[in-house]
Every structure is written in structure tokens, then in C-alpha cells.
Amino acid sequence: GAGVSQSPSNKVTEKGKDVELRCDPISGHTALYWYRQSLGQGLEFLIYFQGNSAPDKSGLPSDRFSAERTGGSVSTLTIQRTQQEDSAVYLCASSFRRGSPLHFGNGTRLTVT
Amino acid sequence: SQELEQSPQSLIVQEGKNLTINCTSSKTLYGLYWYKQKYGEGLIFLMMLQKGGEEKSHEKITAKLDEKKQQSSLHITASQPSHAGIYLCGADNNQGAQKLVFGQGTRLTINP
């Protein structure tokens, strides 16, 4: 597609439920990132995929968070047993190579009730 | 770890006025990116700076990176309502993975 696509755009879930957020990066981009943006906060790095290398998971806030990138393209961010503090906008970005600008999707707004 | 501090945190200017947003790093910047975000949308890439003293312009927006590569500024000339939004600077920490670190953002409001 023309840009980074994220789905769903909005997700409301009950506390304790699992959620999956999807990201379709720009075709040909080898790097894929997940960030989290909480109300009034800056962007918090979560995880980074580069080609076939092991992902950099250093930003994941707890073991309830995990992410996969299948076939070097689509990525799924999974949050298990959601908590209210998980409520935020989850942004996905991709880039062509190191040093190239990141292109962001419109994000998924997650609300945990 | 590298931290980016943006100033001001918020800015209200009258349409037609010039304005400047600053981004300061505690460490040398190996790649400095400026983005704009509107409510409910993702980040839109504006400009990337890599060399000390580098300056880039696009339409009425100019971004500069100082010689020491620790501070960048974003200048908007003759501001318009379309410039309103949140401006974020992001930097490459030049350590292994390209894990961009972002400032807290500057919320810009343009009054007609």
C-alpha cells in the first residue's frame, strides 16, 4: 500500500482480555517499529524488527506484551490480560533502512475499561 | 540513555507570526528527525538532519542542526492555521538498533 496501515483504528476492551493490534508496513521496508503514546506523554519505544535479525524487545513494558513479524512484513502486537494503564495509542512505523525516516501509521487507540 | 528536551511545551501564536521550536539533546545527535502530528493521526515526517550545521527548508518550515550536533531548531515563517499540531523531534541513538528516541512534543496553536 501507499503507507503504513494499522488495524483496528480503535479498540475498546475489558480489563483482563487479550488484544491483538496489526500493522502492515510499506512494501519493501525492512525495519518495523512499535511505539506507544499515552495521553500527554511522548512516544515510548516498544519493539523493533530489522530484516531477519532478532527483534529488539528492550522497550516492552512487561511480559504481557509480545510482538511478531511474519514473513518480514505484517506485524502483530499482542497484549495479554490488559490493564487500564495499557490504554494508549499504539503506533507502528516502518523504514527502508537504517538512517531512513520512519513512516508512521495512524495508530490504534486502545481503551481498557 | 539519550534524552531529548523540547521547548516550549506549548505555543500559541497569531496567524502570520514567526515561531521557533527547540530540541536539545544530552548527547551528540547522529540523526535528527522532525515530525508533525495532528490529533488522532500518525506522525508526518517533515525533515531529517544529519550533519553539523545542516539546514533544510520545506515551504515555510526551516530546520537547523547546530555544529555540535546537540541542538536543533524548527522555524516557521508567517504561520498559518494549517501549521497547528504537535511537533516532535526524534533522534537516532546510534547504538545498534535504530531505536529513535522522541522528545515530549510541542503543541502549536495558531490563532486567526
DSSP readout, A62-80?
A: STTEEEEEGGGS-EEEEE-
* Overall average pLDDT of the A59-76 stretch: 93
CB-based contacts of A93, cutoff 8 Å, min separation 6: A4, A32, A33, A35, A102, A103, A104, A105, B42, B43
From chain B, the residues in CB contact with A101 under 8 A are: 33, 45, 48
Confidence at residue B96, expressed as pLDDT on a 0 to 100 scale? 56
Q: Which residue has the higher pLDDT, A67 or B31?
A: A67
Report d(CA A1, CA A25) in Å as an integer: 8
Confidence at residue B30, expressed as pLDDT on a 0 to 100 scale? 81
CA B6 and chain centroid, separation: 8
- Residue B97 above 60 pLDDT? no
In this complex, the residue of B41, B45, B100 whose CB is nearest that of residue A103 is B45
Do you know the residue count of chain A?
113
Confidence at residue B101, expressed as pLDDT on a 0 to 100 scale? 86
From chain B, the residues in CB contact with A33 under 8 A are: 99-100
- Residue B3 above 60 pLDDT? yes
From chain A, the residues in CB contact with B35 under 8 A are: 104
Report d(CA B23, CA B8) in Å as an integer: 9
**Inter-chain CB pairs, A–B, below 8 Å:** 59
* Overall average pLDDT of the B29-51 stretch: 89
A68-71, long-range: CB within 8 Å, 24+ apart, which pairs?
Answer: A69/A32
* Burial category of B24 from C-beta neighbours within 10 Å (exposed 0-12, middle 13-18, buried 19 and up): middle
Confidence at residue A67, expressed as pLDDT on a 0 to 100 scale? 96
Please, are residues A87 and A110 in contact by the beta-carbon 8 Å criterion?
yes
3-state secondary structure of B84: coil
* Overall average pLDDT of the A58-64 stretch: 94
Confidence at residue B104, expressed as pLDDT on a 0 to 100 scale? 92
Report d(CA A108, CA A91) in Å as an integer: 7
- Closest by CA to A20, choosing from A31, A32, A7, A33, is A7
Phi then psi for residue A38, to 5 deg, are -90, 160
Flag whether residue A94 sits within 8 Å of chain B, measured between CB atoms: no
Q: Do B33 and A102 touch (CB under 8 A)?
A: yes
Interface of B with A in 49-88 (CB under 8 A): 50, 88
